[in-house]
């Protein structure tokens, strides 16, 4: 089959498959702080690391209209910092709770029963219990094109200024997936667990 984006029904597909096609996607569980001192936590699966040195990440925020702005984006624009929390099995329920639509200023750390653990390089805390977290400063915001209904996505790029790793997921100087089991977002209502890991070398590598 073939179809142009958003015309999946013409091809007999009941649901837009884009996120199932581009899967798995890591979940960036974004902590942020507003100018009023409020804290926010929300998951974003249009998220990835985009550069290793300097270390940089991005997440992409959906908006229904030019006037609509999600709390995470508002906070990053206001205070210039955020923390990416990494979600493993133990954080799944809390991550899901934090994805609800709550009034601006409502603290999803509290709603999800999570501690706020101070970061070292930014004033935004990480979530207690996560296997890893990336402390970030805001680098750039890029508004992607709007669709015919006025909706669209806004890309937030950040520079990683500090990296927290739970010592319990490290062995022989490397992060062990079986101690950490990253959760990823697939399409539809599906999620994945990285449990079936294999190694390979590139041509010319020892
Ligand atoms: C696993 C998961 C991934 C999500 N990914 C995104 C995303 O990439 N972009 C987005 O705008 N919303 C995404 N959402 C929805 C937001 O988490 C939700 O709109 C949340 O209320 C935004 O919170 P905020 O306004 O506090 O930033 C996702 C939700 C879940 C559960």
Per-residue b or e along 118-151, where b marks 16 or more CB atoms closer than 10 Å to that residue's CB: ebeebebbbbeebbbbbbbbbeeeeeeeeeeeee
- How far, in Å, CA of 116 to CA of 149, rounded? 38
User: Look-up: residue for tokens 């890591």?
Assistant: 26
State the Cα–Cα distance between residues 141 and 147, nearest whole angstrom.
18
| Cα–ligand 1 centroid distance for 173 (angstroms) | 33
98 alpha carbon – ligand 1 mean position (Å):
9
Candidate CATH numbers 3.40.50.920, 2.30.110.10, 3.90.1300.10, 3.40.50.10490; the one for domain 21-189:
2.30.110.10
Confidence (pLDDT) at 159? 99
Across 99-108, average pLDDT: 97
Q: Where are the domains of the chain?
A: 21-189
Residue nearest atom 15 in ligand 1 by C-alpha distance:
99
Tell me the mean pLDDT in the region 140-160. 97
pTM of the model: 0.98
Radius of gyration of the chain (CA): 18
Which pLDDT band holds residue 66 (cuts at 50, 70, 90)?
A: confident
Question: In this structure, which residue's CA is closest to atom 14 in ligand 1?
Answer: 44
Distance 96 CA to ligand 1 centre (A): 9
pLDDT of residue 69: 94
Q: Whose CA is nearest to atom 16 of ligand 1?
A: 99
Q: What does the pLDDT look like over 76-92, one tens digit per residue? A: 999 999 999 999 999 99
Q: Distance from the CA of 205 to the center of ligand 1, in angstroms?
A: 39
What atom of ligand 1 comes closest to residue 191's alpha carbon? 1
How much distance in Å is there from the Cα of 101 to the middle of ligand 1? 9
> Residue 152: is its pLDDT beyond 90?
yes
> Which own/partner contact pairs does 140-145 have at CB distance under 8 Å and 24+ positions apart?
141/73, 141/76, 141/77, 144/60
Q: Residue 24: is the preceding peptide bond cis (ω within 30°)?
A: yes
Report the pocket of ligand 1 as residue ranges, CB < 6 Å. 27, 40, 42-46, 60-62, 70-72, 96, 99, 101, 185
CB 27 within 8 A of CB 42: no
Q: What does the pLDDT read at residue 68? A: 85
Write the burial class of residue 45 (CB in 10 Å: 0-12 exposed, 13-18 middle, 19+ buried). buried
């Amino acid at each position: 089959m073939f179809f142009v984006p958003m015309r999946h029904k013409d091809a007999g597909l009941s649901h837009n498959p884009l996120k199932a096609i581009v899967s798995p996607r890591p979940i960036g569980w974004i902590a942020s702080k507003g100018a009023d001192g409020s804290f926010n936590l929300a998951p974003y699966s249009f998220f990835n690391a985009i550069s290793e040195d300097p270390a940089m990440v991005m997440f992409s925020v959906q908006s229904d209209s030019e006037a609509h702005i999600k709390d995470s984006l508002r906070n990053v624009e206001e205070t210039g910092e955020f923390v990416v929390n990494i979600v493993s099995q133990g954080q799944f329920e809390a991550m899901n709770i934090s994805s609800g639509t709550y009034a601006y200023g409502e603290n999803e750390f509290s709603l999800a029963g999570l501690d706020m653990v101070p970061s070292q390089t930014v004033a935004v805390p990480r979530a207690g219990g996560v296997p890893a977290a990336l402390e970030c400063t805001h680098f750039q915001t890029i508004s992607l094109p709007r669709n015919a209904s006025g909706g669209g996505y806004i890309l937030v790029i950040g520079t990683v200024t500090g990296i927290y790793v739970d010592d319990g997921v490290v062995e022989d100087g490397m992060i062990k997936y079986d101690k950490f089991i990253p959760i990823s977002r697939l399409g539809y209502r599906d999620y994945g667990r990285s449990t079936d890991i294999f190694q390979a070398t590139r041509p010319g590598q020892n």
